[in-house]
């Protein structure tokens, strides 16, 4: 997996460039993809992990829906 993105420095503001780099990498899910691909995951483990993610996401969506009412 390769992800290419560029960050332009304005006024030599390195700290701002680092913040932008972190923001872009989180939006592109670079770290999550790296962790998923760093080791082999059995298909059964993958299925269980995705099921747990779905359960968590549905709980979060339900909570948001209830808060909006």
Tell me: the pLDDT tens digits for 8-45? 887 888 888 889 989 988 888 888 888 888 999 999 99
Higher pLDDT, 53 or 7: 53
Domain with 19, as residue range(s), is: 1-38
The predicted structure's pLDDT at residue 52: 97
Q: 1 pLDDT exceeds 70?
A: no
Compute the half-sphere exposure of residue 24: CA atoms within 13 Å on the CB side of its CA. Answer: 12
Higher pLDDT, 2 or 64: 64
User: Is the pTM of the predicted complex or chain greater than 0.75?
Assistant: no
H helix runs in 1-69, sequence order: 14-27, 30-37, 43-68
d(CA 34, CA 52): 20
The answer on 25 and 6 residing in a single domain is: yes
Q: 5 pLDDT exceeds 80?
A: no
The answer on 49 and 27 residing in a single domain is: no
The answer on 45 and 34 residing in a single domain is: no
60: its two tokens: 């979060």
């Amino acid at each position: 997996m390769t992800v290419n993105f560029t960050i332009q420095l304005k006024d030599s503001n390195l700290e701002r460039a680092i913040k932008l780099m972190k923001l872009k990498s989180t939006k592109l899910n670079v770290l999550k993809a790296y962790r998923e691909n760093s080791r082999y995951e059995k298909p059964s483990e993958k299925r269980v992990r995705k099921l747990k993610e779905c359960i968590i996401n549905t709980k979060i969506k339900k909570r948001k829906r209830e808060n909006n009412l």
